[in-house]
Amino acid sequence: MDSGARNELTVQGIAASQGIAYGQIFVYLQNEIEVPSYQVEPEKRIEEVARFDRALVVTRQQIAKIKNEVEKNIGPEEAAIFDAHLMVLEDEALIGETIREFEATGRNIETCFHQVSTRYVQAFEQIDDEYLRERAGDLRDVAQRVLQNLLGQAENALNRLADRRIVVATDITPSESASLDRSAALALVTDSGSRTSHAVIVARSMKIPAVVGVRDLTKRVRDGDWAIIDGYDGLVIVNPSESTLFRYGKIQERKKSFEARLLEVNRLPAVTLDGVGVSLMANIEKSDEVGQVQEFFADGVGLYRTEFLFLNAARIPTEQEQFLDYKRVVESLAPKPVVIRTLDLGGDKPMSGNAELFPKESNPFMGFRAIRWCLENRDIFKNQLRAILRASAHGKACLMYPMISGADELARANALLEECREELRSRNVPFDAGMEVGTMIEIPSAAVTADLLARQSAFFSIGTNDLIQYTLAIDRGNDRIAHLYEPTHPAVLRSLRHIVTEAHRAKLEVSVCGEMAGDPVFAPLLLGLGIDTLSMSPAWLPSVKYLIRSMTMADARALADEALALGSAPEIYARCEAFYRARVRIE
Ligand code: PEP
Ligand code: MG
């Protein structure tokens, strides 16, 4: 690609986290590197092999440096992972075969190394042995580094991002996203992904503008390109012209002044024009987000995704470490409630470096995840339950289980919780005996059996991100089918109505803590359907509150009734959007 005067390129993706950023791109390639292929002249062949040797030496130095840092900052056990990486560089077969391939074909050394290492990775991946399969990952990592060094590319480690850059990646994992330095990452753009993928939820909570689902953008840009990222409308504009920059400056001003208007309602109560109060809560991923919960005057925390405490840890946090973390949140928000969700690890959130606990699965979202994983890792689960119970003595904690599929599973979880209560009682450790224990409704079987689950629950919280994905059989992280992920699908609405009816029949309150709750286009529909509480990323509270203060609950109920009578998702969406536009003007 020519780096000279390049044309403006506009790519439409999915708006994932609000905000506008302008800056230079940092291309983060995890698995795919474009390897140029060309013939090397016979007289340059000695130099080509020397180039390979130099790249191996540099790679060795880089890995040794990382190993030292990890040893210093985390510990020797974790640093040992990098011994395996160093061993790859000593592998006679890999290096020797690359040179032989080069001598036989005369193709450039990157091509030969890429072919040989890919063959090795594939061979390891197919071996039916956990340890050897793991080595495929080591090999892939190291091969990538060697290729980057051969191609003269910068070391692509996200957590080494020093400048203020827009990160453009094929995809990133939730833990990579959580390790982003918010002062260094101006914005995040990914080829794949969706609004509800966990990596994006994390970016949103860090207030990093994000656009996802831009397909092959990583192949169309290069490090250092300038770009505008529009996280409101899902646009990426690479090499913007002067006039675009000017226009965007104006748009940004307008959006800023609208945001200022939104902030005016920040301190005011969430009450509709006909006097109905709505409870608005915050979703958090880390305990240090309590500041935001207070800043946006949330009525408490409706969802604390505790797995993020585990995801970036070098080892499983102890009961005491967890207790201190939960206590910090509960205590600083008391007397407001904090709903602590038990671990939702697995699926797209495995703990890295723990292959034994998180075996590779071909269908992770339907696999060994959340409560299923906890019920089979009882010691880890019970440590968490005790930590939450102990935290409940310091404010108003509530507990809820993710991914419950039916009454038996819920009974098993509750039985373990009872065991934990007994253990604490026998040790005279204080906890709140009346702590409410609720159930997340995010699997269709749970929605259908809501009446049965209600008998064992103090409240329901609907995880629409998962409920939609499982109801419609649409992988929430897959950009190819993202257009089919329709929150307004009649099946979703009917399911929500059913859950609310059963919850209210049993005198339980029901909240929505999926991303739908924080979208002002959907919030009136949810409230009209009878949802009692909306829980969302703190930064979204003002826009939802603004809308609530501009509508009547009677209108929201009429909207829900009308929507339930319609037969298609786009029609329902159009009604919701019209409802929103009639009440909120950005200009
Ligand atoms: C949900 O599924 O809607 C939810 C809130 O949980 P998570 O996004 O963490 O799966
Ligand atoms: Mg969920």
Q: Which whole number is the average pLDDT over 315-330?
A: 96
Q: Which whole number is the average pLDDT over 505-515?
A: 98
Pocket test for ligand 1, best of 339, 441, 442, 533 (most atoms within 8 A of CB): 442
**Region of poorest pLDDT, from 62-76, 411-425, 570-584:** 62-76
**Region of poorest pLDDT, from 125-129, 323-327, 429-433:** 125-129
What is the model's pLDDT at position 403?
Answer: 97
pLDDT in tens, 323-373: 999 999 999 999 999 999 999 998 888 887 777 888 888 888 899 999 999
Q: Which residues are within 8 A (CB) of 569 and not within 5 positions of it... i.e. 6 or more apart?
A: 486, 488, 489, 490
377 and 392 fall within a common domain: yes
Portion of the chain with pLDDT greater than 70, in percent: 91
For residue 518, what is the DSSP state?
G
Between the CA of 441 and the centroid of ligand 1 the distance, in Å, is: 10
Q: What is the token pair recorded at 282?
A: 């915050």
What is the model's pLDDT at position 544?
Answer: 96
Q: What is the CATH number of the domain that holds 141?
A: 1.10.274.10
Q: Domain of 137?
A: 42-151
Judge whether residue 183 has pLDDT over 50. yes
Last residue of a domain, one of 241, 266, 288: 241
pLDDT in tens, 436-458: 999 999 999 999 999 999 999 99
11 and 80 fall within a common domain: no
Between the CA of 459 and the centroid of ligand 2 the distance, in Å, is: 16
Q: What is the token pair recorded at 93?
A: 């077969």
What is the model's pLDDT at position 529?
Answer: 98
165 and 226 fall within a common domain: yes
Between the CA of 486 and the centroid of ligand 2 the distance, in Å, is: 16
**Region of poorest pLDDT, from 122-131, 228-237, 387-396:** 122-131
Residue 174 binned pLDDT confidence (cut-offs 50, 70, 90): low
Q: Concatenated DSSP letters for 30-62?
A: SS-------BPPGGGHHHHHHHHHHHHHHHHHH
Last residue of a domain, one of 111, 130, 151: 151
Please say whether the beta carbons of 442 and 196 come within 8 A: no
Pocket test for ligand 1, best of 195, 196, 499 (most atoms within 8 A of CB): 196
What is the model's pLDDT at position 202?
Answer: 76
305 and 188 fall within a common domain: no
Pocket test for ligand 1, best of 466, 526, 537, 540 (most atoms within 8 A of CB): 466
Residue 66 counted as domain residue: yes
Please say whether the beta carbons of 146 and 33 come within 8 A: no
Ligand with smallest separation from the Cα of 463: 1
Ligand 1 atom, smallest distance to 463 CA:
3
What is the model's pLDDT at position 203?
Answer: 82
Q: Which whole number is the average pLDDT over 104-115?
A: 94
Residue 175 counted as domain residue: yes
Residue 94 counted as domain residue: yes
Strands of the sheet with 226-230, listed across from one edge: 9-12, 235-238, 226-230, 20-28, 165-169, 185-190, 210-212, 14-17
pLDDT in tens, 539-554: 899 999 999 999 999 9
Q: What is the CATH number of the domain that holds 231?
A: 3.50.30.10
What is the model's pLDDT at position 160?
Answer: 61
**Region of poorest pLDDT, from 75-89, 259-273, 466-480, 566-580:** 75-89
Residue of 89 and 180 predicted with greater confidence: 89
432 and 521 fall within a common domain: yes
Judge whether residue 250 has pLDDT over 70. yes
Judge whether residue 408 has pLDDT over 90. yes
Residue of 122 and 65 predicted with greater confidence: 122
Judge whether residue 556 has pLDDT over 80. yes
Is the CB of residue 513 below 6 angstroms from any atom belonging to ligand 1?
yes
Between the CA of 118 and the centroid of ligand 1 the distance, in Å, is: 36
Q: What is the CATH number of the domain that holds 304?
A: 3.20.20.60
> Catalytic: 489?
no
What is the model's pLDDT at position 58?
Answer: 87
What is the model's pLDDT at position 133?
Answer: 61
143 and 170 fall within a common domain: no
Among 18, 13, 24, 15, residue whose Cα is nearest residue 161: 24
Please say whether the beta carbons of 199 and 173 come within 8 A: yes
Please say whether the beta carbons of 371 and 404 come within 8 A: yes
Ligand 1 atom, smallest distance to 196 CA:
8
Residue 474 binned pLDDT confidence (cut-offs 50, 70, 90): very high
Q: Concatenated DSSP letters for 459-481?
A: EEEE-HHHHHHHHHT--TT-GGG
What integer best gives the mean pLDDT of the chain?
A: 89
**The length of the chain, given as a count of residues:** 587
What is the model's pLDDT at position 4?
Answer: 42
- Selected catalytic residue, list 198, 374, 489, 576: 198
What is the model's pLDDT at position 3?
Answer: 40
Judge whether residue 184 has pLDDT over 90. no
Judge whether residue 75 has pLDDT over 60. no
Q: Which whole number is the average pLDDT over 57-63?
A: 84
Last residue of a domain, one of 136, 151, 166: 151
Between the CA of 532 and the centroid of ligand 2 the distance, in Å, is: 19
Protein residue with its CA nearest to atom 4 in ligand 1: 463
Q: Which residue type does 33 have?
A: I
Is the CB of residue 230 below 6 angstroms from any atom belonging to ligand 1?
no
Judge whether residue 156 has pLDDT over 50. no
What is the model's pLDDT at position 255?
Answer: 81
Helix H or strand E segment including 428: none
> Catalytic: 498?
no
Residue 259 counted as domain residue: no
CA 491, CA 493: separation in Å to the nearest integer? 5
Residue 248 counted as domain residue: no
